[in-house]
């Protein structure tokens, strides 16, 4: 298969054309198996991850994520990078060390092979950067007009110690709430690109592998919750953890990092930056006595340089998120009903 080819229905039909397609989209995968397991290079119907005696105190962690973004390439990333980051980050947010990915790639008939290869190269390079193997997958081709461009669905596999409890339901009253950087960059960069909004500066998606930053955080024994504020943004993420942990979360508006260009585009489009997706940030809840140390540790990594405490969890008004505004009032930050920006992550 060559860059100049066009994807045909036969490329998804289980014959020799499909073998060509699989070889074409996986040839840049760097890590193809886990240990002595069966991996991508075996071309079996699946893959294996060998276990050993030292896994007896561990759990396998799994996270599934469907990715569909329009346009396929956006400032700061593309669908391939997004698909790996989204899934690897979800594993990290559960306290896991990511090991491997499975991927299902669904493509529209008529797609240019070159475009597909570029997205999959980005997928494969991002997986290598994250140190995760791509061990098995699936490809399907849908008839022209029944799918716009392509979808990548990834399942991530990691391992974590059984006694590490980093959960949406584990925030304790008194915990400090931190965020590792500015919010809304991904969603706004995508919308600005889609709507051709001139910014006078380059606004890029924050899409990134959070693994190195998460692994710094794992050292803190009283880290109770980590979550990446993707669809629905900070507002959805905080409401979810407030509800699940039976606490309230009190934010200080002045502390929440929002880039001025993000705020400007959000204003133009009538969007609240707190409801806009990030793809390279996380929020965390940590006991107050470890909060300053954690913040400083995260700031040592380029991805966490802007880490800041944005609020705290309290025992009253369980399930609510409240914000002390810059002008001195207090307002609720509600769960978004559903942000009406499709195909964003």
**Which residue do the tokens 């997004």 mark?**
82
3-state secondary structure of 214: helix
Residue 2 CA to its chain's centroid (Å)? 31
Considering beta carbons, is residue 234 or 265 the nearer one to a second copy? 234
DSSP track, 167-190: -TT---TT-EEEESS-SSHHHHHH
Closest approach, Cβ 326 to a second copy, in A, equals 25
CA-to-CA distance for 20 and 173, rounded, in angstroms? 56
Sign of torsion, CA 18 86 341 69? negative
3-state secondary structure of 207: coil
Closest approach, Cβ 59 to a second copy, in A, equals 4
Closest approach, Cβ 136 to a second copy, in A, equals 6
Considering beta carbons, is residue 257 or 336 the nearer one to a second copy? 336
CA-to-CA distance for 163 and 63, rounded, in angstroms? 19
Contacts of 53 by beta carbon, 8 Å cutoff, 6+ apart: none
Considering beta carbons, is residue 138 or 324 the nearer one to a second copy? 138
- Whether 175 and 238 have beta carbons less than 8 Å apart is answered as no
Sign of torsion, CA 195 108 126 114? negative
Considering beta carbons, is residue 56 or 201 the nearer one to a second copy? 56
Considering beta carbons, is residue 59 or 118 the nearer one to a second copy? 59
CA-to-CA distance for 8 and 113, rounded, in angstroms? 10
Considering beta carbons, is residue 37 or 174 the nearer one to a second copy? 37
Closest approach, Cβ 289 to a second copy, in A, equals 26
Closest approach, Cβ 309 to a second copy, in A, equals 23
Closest approach, Cβ 10 to a second copy, in A, equals 3
């Amino acid at each position: 298969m060559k860059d100049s080819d066009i994807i045909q229905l036969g490329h998804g039909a289980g014959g020799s054309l499909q073998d060509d397609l699989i070889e074409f989209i996986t040839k840049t995968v760097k890590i193809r198996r886990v240990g002595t397991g069966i991996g991508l290079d075996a071309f079996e119907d699946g893959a294996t991850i060998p276990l050993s005696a030292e896994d007896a105190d561990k759990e396998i962690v799994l996270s599934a994520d469907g990715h569909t973004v329009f346009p396929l390439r956006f400032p700061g990333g593309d669908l391939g990078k997004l698909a790996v980051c989204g899934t690897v980050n979800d594993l990290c947010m559960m306290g896991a060390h990511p090991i491997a990915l499975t991927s299902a790639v669904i493509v529209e008939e008529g797609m240019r092979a070159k475009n597909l290869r570029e997205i999959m190269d980005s997928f494969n390079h991002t997986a290598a950067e994250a140190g995760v193997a791509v061990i098995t997958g699936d490809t399907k081709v849908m008839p022209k007009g029944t799918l716009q461009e392509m979808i990548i669905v990834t399942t991530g596999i990691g391992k974590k110690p059984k006694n590490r409890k980093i959960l949406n339901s584990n925030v304790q009253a008194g915990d400090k709430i931190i965020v590792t950087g500015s919010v809304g960059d991904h969603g706004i960069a995508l919308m600005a690109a889609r709507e051709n909004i001139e910014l006078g500066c380059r606004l890029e998606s924050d899409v990134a592998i959070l693994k190195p930053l998460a692994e710094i955080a794992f050292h803190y024994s009283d880290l109770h919750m980590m979550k990446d504020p993707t669809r629905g943004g900070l507002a959805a993420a905080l409401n979810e953890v407030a509800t699940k942990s039976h606490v309230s979360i009190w934010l200080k508006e002045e502390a929440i990092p929002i880039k001025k260009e993000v705020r400007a585009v959000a204003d133009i489009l009538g969007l609240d930056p707190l409801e806009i997706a990030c793809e390279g940030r996380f929020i965390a809840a940590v006991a107050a006595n470890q909060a300053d140390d954690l913040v400083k540790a995260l700031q040592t990594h380029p991805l966490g340089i802007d880490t800041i405490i944005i609020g705290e969890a309290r025992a009253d008004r369980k399930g609510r998120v409240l914000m002390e505004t810059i002008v001195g009032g207090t307002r609720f930050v509600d769960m978004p009903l559903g942000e009406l920006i499709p195909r964003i992550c």
